[in-house]
Every structure is written in structure tokens, then in C-alpha cells.
A and B are shown apart, each in its own frame.
Chain A
Amino acid sequence: MSENVSPEGTTRLVVGPFNRVEGDLEVRLEAAQGRVEAAFVSSPLFRGFERILEGRDPRDALVIAPRICGICSVSQSHAAALALAGVQGLVPTDNGRVATNLIVATENVADHLTHFHVFFMPDFARAFYADRPWFARAEDRFKAAQGRAVRKALETRATLLHVLGLLAGRWPHTLAIQPGGVTRGADARDKMRLQATLGAVRRALEDDLFGTKLERIAELASRDELDAWRANGPDGDFRLFLEIAADLELDRLGRAYDRYLSYGAYPGLDAPLYARGIFTGEGLGSVDVTAIAEDHTNARMEGRNRPHHPFDGSTRPDAEDETGYSWCKAPRLGGLPFETGAVARQIVDGQPLVHDIVRRGGGSVLARVVARLVETARTVIAMEGWVRALQPGEPWCAQGAMPEYGRAAGLTEAARGALGHWLRVENGRIAGYQIIAPTTWNFSPRDAAGVPGPLEAALVGAPIRQGETTPVAVQHIVRSFDPCMVCTVH
């Protein structure tokens, strides 16, 4: 952290290390009259996974890629499996598809729980808010590492991850997801065990977080209903959050471009559970994957002459570079920055509450948190159905051969949004492997035209109180994205 004041009255702040995000993050702020005027978001860690993957047997991607991230490990694994399946021309068995959905959903729900309880809410239990009417409850429930809700949520999360102990061996870093399905089948008794585990998770969510059935949360349809919930809904941490959000006007904080991207999540026989698409001021649209390109202008990377589609992309760190301010490249779709995550998935899927919140007040801190909680309820309900759909005795994994040449993209949704792997195989080895992770989109630096990334835009206007060195409003906005910094640069 450092601070200095220029003669023009602009304050410069450097905020870091930024914890309760996954990985390391630095945010540089320029502020005047108590407001952020410009923000520069830096991912300070580079590891070079794309380079580590080059030259290996393509199947090694299933070992290496998940280790990009300990919190999105299964999503990275899924994207790699999809890319390999694309190269092999392989389609998973029905059981393989459903079990993969369960595995991916388990991680995503666990991540949503971790985000709300461990990363995001503890900021409202800071002494900074001691004068607010809800503070005593927030402190009791959400004091960092100690609050009752924090501890209970970690227990619920550990229980939920038993789904992966059973179906995937362990979490994180499993090899269970394969291009043709999964490595471990389930029998009838396994289905009962999974049902019991999900039953325990449902009960914990209904008892503590929502105070009511998951189905009621999934059906919330308008901002008015949400306001009514705040006034006289069932007691629970969801309602406490709504009360805090109203008091602090979190619906007016952290708006970015209101431009959303989702690759679609949880494949079905006909359509995914959550639709693929984009949502912009012009409404819904389809994703033109060929129009995705990464700009290196402000990344400390060679290859700044033009944006590159990931099949033509490169990852060559420029150790001498002094102008770039992040190891993160700037992904753009049709030349524009896009936000990704639960808001994107739910608005593209037409979930009416999330749509209404964004339509009325834009994609704020409130929108991001509510979208995650609504999605948690919807996803757990879907998981219960997938457990019933598993067919013991039917095949779990289709087999295929790896061709000497081929290329394919693996596109999936991690908890934090759109995740893509672009794989090129030549001479039977990995010739190119480019990854664009959700937080690469959300925490992108500026591009060649100087257009800020979504977080950089969302921070403009954030209030800074006199004397604040690590402004709490900035923390709310940053954490509302649930950033995963280890995925961002990888």
C-alpha cells in the first residue's frame, strides 16, 4: 500500500495485497473529491501454464490444466476435457455427461458458498461499520474466519465436497473428468449416498442462508419481490444481506458495462441447463467465438502489434517491459470488454429477477451477489435431478484415439464465468494451448484503444472516505466479482 497526493488534488492509492480473493491482486486508484476517477487493475503473478503445456502429450492437459487453480480446478479440467474431446471427435456417454455436470456443479456451488461467506460478507463485519443498525448481526454471523455463518458454511462446503470424494476421488485436482465421460461409475448405493449429501446441503442452505425452500429462491422474479423479501421475508443471511445492501445502496455501486458473456453451463441432451449467449444493451445475442481476441497492449507480454484470436495467441512474457501494468491480457469479444459470471449466466438464461435488477439499476454489487445466490438454489435443485438420472450399469466413459493433428476449443462455465481452452495438436503433441479464464475477462487491463476492463470501469465513482487507505467500497466492488487471480493469468 502507498499513497501520495499530487498538486492538482488527485490522490493516488495502491491497494494490496488484496486478500479474500483467490490469488494476489493489486489495484491502483486515482481519486479526487472522495471518488475514484480511474482504476488500474494488476495481476501480479505470472506462472506460464500455457508454455508449460506446450510440447506435452495432449492427455497431460488433464493433469496440468486443473493445477492452474485450486478453486476452479474442476472447471479447468472440464474445459481441457472438452478441448480434447473436440480434437478426438468424441461425445461423452449419457452417464458421463450427467456425472460431469454433477462434478462441475459441486465445485461451482462450493465456490459460491465460499465467496458469500468467506470472501465477501466479512467486509460488513469490519469495525468501519460499527455505527450501522445491522452491524451486531453482521459481526456475529460474518466476522472473518470466526463468524457463526462463516464456520457453518465451511462445514456445509466440506459436506458438499463429499460428492467429489465419491464421484471424482477428491477435490481439488481430480482426473475423473475425461473427454468421453468419467472414470468412476456410480451404483445404486452411491446414488443414495449422493442424495443424502445433497439433502444435507439443501437443509443447511434452507435453514441458515435462505430461511425457506430453495424453490422459492429460484422462482424470485422481480426487484419488487426482492424488496418485499427484505421487509418481511424469512429470516436468514440472505435477508440480512438485502438489509445491508439497501442501507449501503449496493445496487448503485460497482456498475460496469452491463455487457455479459456466457458459454452456457451443464450440457443436456438438447440444451444446457443455463443457455449460451451474450446480453447487451441490444438484448440477447449469440456468442461469435471467432470474434474473441486478446490484446497485449497493457500486458507485460510480447505480441502487441495486434489482438490475437486464441488459436493464434502467444504467451511470451516481456521481462524488460515497463509500460504494461499487468500480466493479464485483455480479452475482447468483437472488440469490446464483456463481464462474465453468475449475472451473465442467469441473465442470458432469462432468470427474471436478475434480468429485472440489471434492467432497473444496472449490473451492480447487489446484482452480482443476488445472481450467485439465486444460481446456488437453482443449481442444487438441478443436481438432485442429475443424481436420479445416473444409470448404474450403463457406460460411463466413451473411448477414443488421439489424432496426430487437430484443434478445438473447450468452452465451459466456472463459478466465476466463461472459461475457454484453445488447443492445437501437431505431431501428436500440444503445439498451442491458450486459456481465457473468467477473471481474465472481468479484470482485464486496458486495451489498445485505452478502454478499461470491466472491474476498472466498475470502480470509477466508488466513494473513498477521508483517510481510508484500503477503501472499503473498493473492496466490496472487487470482491463482488469473486475474482480468481490464479486463473486470470495462469
Chain B
Amino acid sequence: MPAPFNVLWIQSGGCGGCTMSMLCAEAPDLSTTLESASIRLLWHPTLSEETGAEALALFAQVLAGEIRLDALCVEGAMLRGPNNTGRFHILAGTGVPTIEWVRRLAAVAENVVAVGTCAAYGGVTAAGANPTDACGLQYDGRREGGALGAAYRSRSGMPVINVAGCPTHPNWVTETLMLLAAGLMEADDLDVYRRPRFYADHLVHHGCPRNEYYEYKASAEKMSDLGCMMEHLGCLGTQAHADCNTRLWNGEGSCTRGGYACINCTAPEFEEPGHAFVETPKIAGIPVGLPTDMPKAWFVALSSLAKAATPERLRLNATSDHLVVPPAVRDIKRR
């Protein structure tokens, strides 16, 4: 039996949704998945027996070095306010701001994992006027810094690993922990925003069932339409880094499969797109956000060509909430 990989989980300025999502792990379920990699949850706010004094005793043992902390998982943004006191979240029963607890525990952690976009970059908790002066563990929006500072490295030498997503897919989190436990995740395995590349090197566009509508610019015009949602309804799937449409959620789901726009929730500052989430901003009729790696001139040329060539079937289905024209069945013997 290898030594267990000890994980301590702290929640602060977030919604707990990444944990709720993680509990949806299936085939196998969460506890079987973690056991398969000898991952032990020392304490988790949702799952553990220990409350109050018992939990704090455990934190003390970790800080004293009596229990090895292989990974500190933090869910939720770090709240610096009001006036840099951290009082918007005092960890219950301790009188100490949670941001301070995180700094203390990060100092003894082999690895630190930011679970969710709030913990990674600030996320929705930092939206608008950012009333709590929220930030991520090592980012403040797109800028490095945050609660632990740009120079922070955990004992393993790694920066904070940002498992961004709002929420995270259950397996983004479990697979990150499994890779760490196996010693298979290094700095090169993280992308420019320090997201694990195993899911961030994909685009939400990959595997989107609306791809044929995208190809012909057959666009949805209103909520519940079947067409591509990039042109009018704010979809950022061609730019969003995640494997949602190949990995799938809760069985067979994804945002675009659910009929609504990808809002790029794995990205820093996704919470402030500068326009309504479900509306595509345009200049001279051209969407402002172009597909990843696509030159503008080519996009414009291809779009106008594609629009001219849109099959009637796609044109009609794109603005309907159910299939009105099925694809023709061709006799393959008669070419």
C-alpha cells in the first residue's frame, strides 16, 4: 500500500458548487475514484464527520507538520475586504479570516489546488463592484498576484494549479488530484492561466452538436432555437478552453447541448464580458469575439460564403425548437 495522498479542503467566497459537482462523479463514484489513487480526504466541509473543535484539532496537526498535507484544495474566492481585514469571511469558530488560514496552510502544503474559477481568479464573487475585494489564490482576474502572491510556490515547487470552471466538472478535479498523487503533473502540464492542459487544451466547440449550424452560419435567434448560438446569443464555445462537449456533464449534457450559450466559465474575468451574457456584441454585423486562431478576414470571407451556401434544412431548423426538416437519406448506390 502506498502512503495515502492527503487532501485538506477549505471553502471560502464561493457557492460550494464545485463540491456539489464533484459529488456527481460516476462510473466510478467519488469515493471509489479517490480510493483507486490512495487519495484520502483528511477533512472536507461536506463529507467529514469532524465539526468544530475536532476539525480545528486536525488543522493544528497539519500546521505542526504532524500530518503531511499533499494537497490543499481551496474552493471559493479569497476575500480581502473590508479594508484588507478579511472580515467578510472569518472561519467560523476561529476568529481568524479564512484568507489567513489559507495562507498558513499553503505554507505547509506540497501542492495547492484552486478548485473552480472563484478560487483560481476571483470569478463571479469578484464581479461588478467586487464588494468584498475578492481575488483568486494566485491571480486577481487575469493578473498574477492574488491572495498568495505571484512568487508563491508550494513545497513541490509548483505554482497554484487552477482547476478553473464555474462549476468544475467532477473529473477535472479528481483527475488533477490523481495525476498529482501519481507524480504525473508538472508545470509544463499547465496552460498559460495554469489550468491543467488535459482539459484546457480543448475548446468547448469540439464536439458541439451544433457544429453543422456553425459551419453554415445557420444561427439561433432566440432562446430554445436549435441553431449555432455564436452569432446572436453570446456563445463563446469557439474560444472557451474546456472539453465540455467531448467529456459531457451529468450523463449526456453540456451547456450548448442544454440549449444555451457557453459563457467561457473557465477563463479569468469571464464574469465581466462587457455585454449581456446571452447577446453577441458585433461591429458592422461581425461578432467581436472571433473563433480561436482564426484571422478576421478569413472569418468574414468564410461566413459570407457559408451563409450563401446554407442548406434550406439548416436554415429552417436553426430557428426552430425542434427538428422540422430531417437530413435527406441518399441512395448511396446512385452517386
Q: Which residues in A have some Cβ–Cβ distance to B below 8 Å?
A: 1-2, 14-20, 22-26, 42, 44-48, 51-57, 59-60, 62-64, 67-71, 73, 114, 118-119, 122, 125-126, 143-146, 151, 154-155, 157-159, 161-162, 164-176, 178, 180-185, 187, 197, 317, 319, 327, 392-393, 395-397, 399, 469-470, 475, 486
Are B127 and A52 neighbours in the complex by a CB distance under 8 Å?
Answer: yes
Chain B residues within 8 Å of A14, by CB: 93
Cβ B24 vs Cβ A171 within 8 A: yes
- B15-A16 in contact (CB<8A): no
- Are the CB atoms of A18 and B128 closer together than 8 Å? no
Is the CB–CB distance between A397 and B222 below 8 Å? Answer: yes
**Is A24 touching B25 in the complex (CB atoms < 8 A)?**
no
CB pair A158 B166 closer than 8 Å: no
CB distance from A322 to the nearest CB of B (A): 11
Pair B41/A392 contact, Cβ less than 8 Å: no
Known pairs A169-B249, A469-B53; A154 contacts B92 (CB<8 A):
no
Distance (whole angstroms) from the CB of A209 to the closest CB of chain B: 17
Q: Decide: B129 and A51 in contact? CB cutoff 8 A.
A: yes
Check B55–A172 contact: CB distance below 8 A.
no
Residue of A nearest to B261 (CB): A175
Shortest distance from the beta carbon of A478 to any chain B beta carbon, whole Å: 9
Contact B88 A46 (CB under 8 A): yes
Q: Are B223 and A397 in contact (CB under 8 A)?
A: yes
Q: Is the CB of B89 within 8 A of A126?
A: no
Considering residues B31, B48, B131, which has the most beta carbons from chain A within 10 angstroms of its beta carbon? B131
Could you tell me if B322 and A187 are in contact, using CB atoms closer than 8 angstroms?
A: yes
| B93 and A71 within 8 A (CB) | no
Partner-contacting stretch, out of B104-112, B140-148, B250-258, B307-315: B250-258
Closest to B125 in A: A47
With A165-B253, A168-B253 as contacts: A173 and B167 at CB distance below 8 Å: yes
Given contacts A16-B92, A42-B92, A56-B128, contact A145 B13 (CB under 8 A): no
CB distance from B273 to the nearest CB of A (A): 9
Q: Known contacts A172-B167, A469-B53: does B93 contact A164 (CB below 8 Å)?
A: no
Q: Report A367 CB to chain B, min CB distance, Å.
A: 23
* Cross-chain contact B258 with A168 (CB below 8 angstroms): yes
Contacts of B255 in A (CB 8 A): 169-170, 174-175
Q: Mark B70-90, 1 if CB is under 8 A from A, else 0.
A: 000000000101110101111
Find chain B residues with CB under 8 A from A167 CB: 258
Q: Can you name 14 extra interface pairs (CB under 8 A) apart from A20-B48, A47-B131, A155-B26? A: A24-B98, A44-B90, A48-B132, A52-B131, A53-B128, A70-B14, A143-B49, A181-B224, A197-B251, A319-B85, A393-B322, A397-B222, A470-B53, A486-B15
Cβ of B92 and Cβ of A174 under 8 Å apart?
no
Contact indicator B51/A470 (Cβ below 8 Å) = yes
Cβ contacts A to B, 6 pairs, < 8 Å: A45-B79, A125-B49, A145-B49, A166-B251, A169-B257, A319-B83
Q: Does B94 touch A at the CB level, under 8 Å?
A: yes
Contact, CB under 8 Å: B127 / A144:
no
Residue of A nearest to B229 (CB): A183
Nearest 9 A/B pairs, CB to CB: A169-B258, A70-B17, A16-B92, A16-B93, A165-B250, A183-B259, A165-B253, A48-B131, A319-B82
Q: Given A67-B15, A170-B254, A317-B88, A19 and B45 touching (CB < 8 A)?
A: yes
Known: A46-B88, A175-B255, A486-B16. A19 touches B260 (CB 8 A): no
> Which residues from A are CB-within-8-Å of B20?
70-71, 73, 171-172
Task: State which of A154, A157, A180, A469 has its C-beta within 8 Å of the C-beta of B52.
Answer: A469
Judging by beta carbons under 8 Å apart, are A67 and B166 in contact?
yes
Is B91 positioned at the interface, with any CB of A under 8 Å from its CB?
A: yes
Contact among B29, B54, B129 for A154, CB-based, below 8 A:
B29
Q: Decide: A55 and B56 in contact? CB cutoff 8 A.
A: no
Q: A70 touching B19 by the CB < 8 A rule?
A: yes
* A73 in contact with B26 (CB, 8 Å): no
Instruction: Give the docked Cα–Cα distance between A392 and B322 (Å).
Output: 8
Interface of B is mostly: loop
How many Å from the CB of A145 to the closest CB on chain B? 4
Q: Does B301 contact A (CB under 8 A)?
A: no
Contact of B92 among A25, A51, A158, A170 (CB under 8 A): A25
Contact status B29-A45, CB under 8 Å: no
**Which one of A51, A159, A170, A475 lies within 8 Å of B253 (CB-CB)?**
A170
| CB-based contact A17/B92 at 8 Å | yes
Q: In the complex, are the beta carbons of B92 and A175 less than 8 A apart?
A: no
Q: Which residues of A contact B131 (CB under 8 A)?
A: 46-48, 51-52, 317
Q: Is B46 part of the contact surface with A, judged by Cβ < 8 Å?
A: yes
A119: nearest residue on chain B (CB-CB)? B46
Q: Quick one: which of B18, B55, B88, B258 contacts A45, CB cutoff 8 A?
A: B88
CB pair B52–A15 under 8 Å, yes or no, is yes
**0/1 interface trace, chain B 32-53, chain A, CB 8 Å (1 if under):** 0000000001011111111111
- CB closest chain-B residue, reference A171: B250
Specify which chain B residues have a CB less than 8 angstroms from the CB of A18 in the assembled complex: 51-52, 92-93
Interfacial chain B residues near A166, Cβ < 8 Å: 250-253
A115 shortest CB reach to chain B, Å: 11
B49: A residues at CB distance < 8 A? 122, 125-126, 143-145
With known contacts A25-B92, A70-B18, A170–B250 Cβ distance under 8 A: yes
Which A residues are in CB contact (< 8 Å) with B41? 145
Contact B92 A70 (CB under 8 A): no
In the complex, residue of chain B having the shortest beta-carbon distance to the beta carbon of A23: B16
Contact A174–B16 (Cβ < 8 Å): no
Greatest chain A CB density within 10 A among B52, B94, B124 is at B52
CB-contacts of B120-165 with A (<8 A): 124-125, 127-132, 134
Interface membership of chain B positions 218-237, coded 1 if the CB is closer than 8 angstroms to chain A and 0 otherwise:
00001110000000000000
Chain A residues lying within 8 Å of B317, measured Cβ to Cβ, are: none
| Cβ-neighbour of B132 out of A15, A16, A47 (below 8 A) | A47
Q: Does B284 contact A (CB under 8 A)?
A: no
Inter-chain contacts of B125 with A (CB < 8 A):
47, 52
- Which residues of A are found within 8 Å of B322, using beta-carbon distances? 185, 187, 392-393
Proximity string of chain B (1-27) to chain A, C-beta cutoff 8 Å, 1 when within and 0 when not: 000000000011111111111011110
Q: What's the Cα separation between A54 and B131 when bound, in Å?
A: 11
